Structures are given as structure tokens and as C-alpha cells.
Structure 1
Amino acid sequence: MRSRRSAEFAAIAVAAALLLGVTVSGASGQAGSAEPTPPGRDAAPKGVAGQTIDRVKQAARQAGDALTRVPCLAPKGGGKSIGSLPHVARKLIAGQPVVIVAFGSSSTQGYGSTSPANNYPNRLAERLRRHYPGADISVINSGKGGEDAPEMMARLKATVLDAKPDLVIWQVGTNAILRNLDPAETGRLVEEGIAAIQATGSDVVLVDPQYAPRVNERAESAGKMIAALGRLAELRRVAIFPRFQVMKDWHEKQALPFENFVIADGLHMNDWGYACFAQLLADDIIRSVGQIKLGVTVPSDVRAYRPM
């Protein structure tokens, strides 16, 4: 009995390692497929370890094929690039470890995804590691559901600054809209946070609210919040990923129904939405680093992020 339990625990440990490989390393997004049952032979009942491995494989398949069902296209019309991420670029060029902190609320935490492998920070890590296979890149998920600027500022030091990040991707503003918080006060708190992050030498990318039915019900508040974050990005000279405009493009210009990228709650993204968001963000980070490597002059006073 003891040897059987030991074997099961060992198998579970292997499964956990596989899951970490999908979630953190994720070079291909797939962990293989189950062995087919030989013809004429019934499949044997699976123990805890076998069921765990099957769940790992299923999560990997879902992560791998999210974008094969619907292609992830850049917004039509293009626009400005992310500009310069000098700290990240210097670290990658020098072959030094890069730490990225994804800071935000439930859509950073990954609410709506079918597994941790499918949240945007893990998809971002997967894509960056695939492009820089020799680099030591860590993406820390510091998302916490239900929060906005007041709660985030209370944990800024412990969950962001203490990690000594090279890049902070700060998703903020959606819960402020839903809670009718003052956009000006949100802007004041976010500006204070950006100043603290910049003082450490880290690059910053802001992410504004999502284009989704529940946000669109408060269109006036959403417009004010998006405008406030845009002005703040100009003032502090940081990048901003215009998530609202990108998702609006998916719906209006690419004719994708909301159910293609938003779950049934009308607010949070699904696996495809997170995967496409991560792809667009990763591709422009890669483009920015590539320009710096080639010696191309990239404005350091970034005014806005616009996926190419």
C-alpha cells in the first residue's frame, strides 16, 4: 500500500511540474496528448495521479489552441508603437534577468480564464520566453479581484516595489467605473504610484478599462476614466495600452461578437481575450527592444501605447 501511495504522489509531483511548465515556461503551450487505448481493450480506471495529469494536459491544449479558433489581429489603422522601454531593453541586451510585475485587479488575476495557464500574465511570459529563449524572464501576477487604485496603492510596496521590477504593467480603472469613484481621485492615486515605480528605475505601461457590456452601460464614467488615464500617461511620460479601444476594434471593426472575447458576466475576458491581449502587448515589447538593439531612435517620452 505504501509503495502504491508513493507512486501516486510521485506522479502528482510530475503533473504539478508539467503544469508549472505550461503556466510559467510554456514554450509551445502543449504538454502532449494521452496515449490511445489499444483496440479491443477497455481503459483502466485512473487514480488521482492519472486524473491530475489529464487535467494538466487539457489545460495545456486549451492554452495552445485559444488563438487557432479565432486569429488575433492587430487593430486596423495601426498607430503609435509602445515607444521606449529602456530598462527592459538594457537588461535583455545585457543578458540579465528581467522581472515584470502585472499589477491590477481581477482581469490581471485572470478571472474568466479556464486555467492559470490562460491568464494574460502567463500568456505574456510564454510569448516573451518563446522569442527570447535564452533569457531569464519572470512575470509576477499581482492581480487581486475587486480592487482599484485605493486598494492597489495600499499594497504597492509589498507586491510591486519589493519585487524590484524592470517593468510594471498596471491595469486600473474598471472597478472605479463600476463603483462610481471620482476619476480625478483615481488619477491622483495612480500618479502617486507611477512616481514611486519610476523612482526605482522601472518602466511602466498603464492598461485602461475593458470594452465590455457592463463597462459600456456606464459610458460617460468610462469616457472620463479613459481620458483621465490618457492625460496622466502624457504627464508622467509613460506608455498606455488602450485596452478599451483595442477591444472596441475587435467588436466593431473586426465584427467579433462579445461572446468571442468576454465571458457571460459581460465584464471579464475569456481565454481568447486574454491571449490576444497578451500577444499584442508582448509583440510591441519585442518590437521596442528590437529597435533599441538596432540603434533606432525611439522616443523616451512615451505619450501613448498603440499596438502596431
Structure 2
Amino acid sequence: MRSSGPFFTIAFAVALSVAALAPGAVTVARAETAQAAPSDNTTGAATPGNVASVDPNAAQQKGLAGKAIDKVREVAKSAGDILSRVPCRAPKGGAKTFGSLPHVAAKLADGKPVLIIAFGSSSTQGYGSTAPEYTYPNRLAAQLRRHYPGADITVLNRGKGGEDAPEMMKRLQTEVIDAKPDMVIWQVGTNAVLRNLDPAETAKLVEDGVGRIQAAGADLVLVDPQYSPAVNAKAENASRMVKLLGRVAELRHVGFFPRFEVMRDWHEGQSLPFESFVISDGLHMNDWGYACFAQLLGDDIIRSVGQIRLGINVPGNVQAYRPM
């Protein structure tokens, strides 16, 4: 068995961290034991003897041990995340800018519950997955909870097969806005392409919906159509739809996840056959496809939130995810 994989690296790091922790932890334990010895001062008042018995290095040693423990926990969390990931890589070049997610970042910073709504059609609902836990919203929820173990994160699935912007706009208020989400991930455009709807009309509806979601105070990420044989059969409409949705994201300053380009890279850049990520209907993703999609989307969300928390926020007028 090779020992150079990510699991070995993480396991080795955990071992090193534990080893580094041990001496400091022993010192702290001894110091705390000494301080816990019985005292003649039954009133609890300070006495010169008590002050003299305190190890002046105890606080420093305890701080070092605490940092070591935090490091072990961080490494363990990373190990757990690696073991839960599928073998999936982002397109070469990656995302230039995903977008700002100030509401989600603020809620996480304040320790408040975070509500994310996945809004869309059958690929949000999860058609093609073999079990509910393998849909992209559930995969995304699991990844975010692993990364933020102390946070209360809920991802609601509001996908409904066969719909596109006209039908989605009818339930936008009741199923999305009324729930007061902190973030909405809106997957749209695929069925419009398949139904030969005018991409420009779809884009107008989406822009109106984006404005309503923003007015409700939620962060937003748009997700464009999938790259698959059924969609590619309508290549001209698909190309226009992808460009127009990207333009809406740019104009409205919201996040944009270029699923079409990501999936095209799987097939053309990484030489994966369609059947490795699309089911036999030539349209919907399989378990691996949903997992990789959720994984890359989750990575971008985590990266964006991290930048905000570090004060490296994206300017408000440059918040759209730039395709490769």
C-alpha cells in the first residue's frame, strides 16, 4: 500500500500534533495539581503563601497546550473532511472570484443559525441520485457542517422537477422568501433550454427574482445549466442561456457557479466519459456528479466566508464568480 496519499499525510500530522502536545500537557497537569493542594486559608482570601505557590509558567504552558489541542482538533476535522470527499478536482485555473456572502459570514461569526435554501428543478430535487443523502443539497449541508462543527446549519431542498423560471417565480415568495433564508442557491435555465424558451425572457425573469431575493436580505448564488448530452443537443440555446445568466449575476452583483463550464471540464479537460457523471437519460447527474458539484460549490462558499472573516472581502461591485 502506498503511504503518500492524503489520508496518510493527515494521520501523520495528527500523530505529530499529539506528540508535540504531550510534554506541555504533562507540565500543565503538574502545575494544576500543585495549585489544587489543600490550603489553610478556609475563607478563600489571598495570602502570601498562596501567591508564592502558583507556578508563574503555568498559564503560559496551559496556553501552549490549548493551542496544541486546537491544532489536533483542526487536523482531525480536515482528516474527516478528506475521507468524506469524492475524488474530484476543480477545473484548471479555478474560480477567479466567487462572490461575497456577508449574511452567512455574519451569522457564522455571531454563532447564529444559518438557513440556506436550494431552489431549482430536478437537479436540485435530486433526480438520478440513489438516495436522499446523495442529492446535492444534502451533500452540501454535510460538508458545511463538517467545516463548521459548532454551527447550526440547515439546507432546505426546494427543487421541483420539470420547472424553470416561469414556474419558479410563482412559488418564490412562499417557498423561498417567506422562509427568511440567509442564502439562496438558485439553479435555473436547463428546462428553459430543453423547452426552447427564449433565453432572454428567462434571464429577465431570473433578474426580477434575484432583485426580490436581494431585497429580502439574503445572499445569492446562481447556478447555470448542466453540461450533458441532452442539453448539448440544444447547443445554441444553451450557450445563450449560460452567457445571459452570467450577465445577470454580474449586473446584480451576486455569486455565480458556472456548472456548465465545470461539467464540460470533467468531460473535455479531465477526459471523463458522460456515463461517469450523467445517468442513462443523458441529462441528470448520478451520485458522483452531484457529490462533485456539491463539493466544489461548498469549497467556494467556505472560501468566500473565510475571506470575509479575515477582512479580505470582495468589493461590492465585483462579486460575480468568473468562469475559467
TM-score range, shorter chain: 0.7 to 0.9
Q: CA deviation at 1:301?
A: 2.8
Query: Counterparts of 1:1-308 in structure 2 under 5 Å?
Result: 68=86, 71-306=87-322
Q: Deviations over 1:17-58 (max 9, x none)?
A: xxxxxxxxxxxxxxxxxxxxxxxxxxxxxxxxxxxxxxxxxx
- DSSP 3-state at the match of 1:249: helix
Q: CA deviation at 1:67?
A: 5.2
Q: Aligned letter for 2:194?
A: L
Q: Deviations over 1:242-265 (max 9, x none)?
A: 000000001111111111100000
Q: Deviations over 1:145-171 (max 9, x none)?
A: 000000000000111011100000000
Separation in 2, partners of 1:177, 1:66: 34
Q: Aligned in 2, Cα 1:118/1:303: closer, same or farther, shift over 3 Å?
A: same
Separation in 2, partners of 1:123, 1:260: 18
Runs (4+) off by over 4 Å = 64-68
Q: Deviations over 1:175-228 (max 9, x none)?
A: 000000011110111111111100011011000000000000010010111111
Q: CA deviation at 1:78?
A: 1.9
Q: Aligned in 2, Cα 1:266/1:65: closer, same or farther, shift over 3 Å?
A: farther
Q: Aligned letter for 2:111?
A: G
Partner of 2:40: none
Q: Aligned letter for 1:205?
A: V
- DSSP 3-state at the match of 1:142: strand
CA contact (8 A) 2:261 2:323 kept: no
Q: CA deviation at 1:295?
A: 1.5
Separation in 1, partners of 2:203, 2:301: 25
Q: CA deviation at 1:300?
A: 2.6
Count of residue pairs the alignment pairs up:
243
TM-score normalised to the size of structure 2? 0.72
Separation in 1, partners of 2:239, 2:249: 15
Q: Deviations over 1:258-286 (max 9, x none)?
A: 11100000000000010011111111111
Separation in 2, partners of 1:254, 1:186: 31
Structure 1 unaligned blocks of 5 or more = 1-63
- DSSP 3-state at the match of 2:185: strand
CA contact (8 A) 1:102 1:141 kept: yes
Separation in 2, partners of 1:248, 1:299: 29
Structure 2 unaligned blocks of 5 or more = 1-81
CA contact (8 A) 2:124 2:158 kept: yes
Separation in 2, partners of 1:279, 1:307: 17
CA contact (8 A) 2:85 2:295 kept: no
Structure of higher CA gyration radius? 2
Separation in 1, partners of 2:98, 2:225: 18
Of 81-90 and 197-206, deviating more is 81-90
Q: Aligned letter for 2:103?
A: H
Q: Aligned in 2, Cα 1:235/1:247: closer, same or farther, shift over 3 Å?
A: same
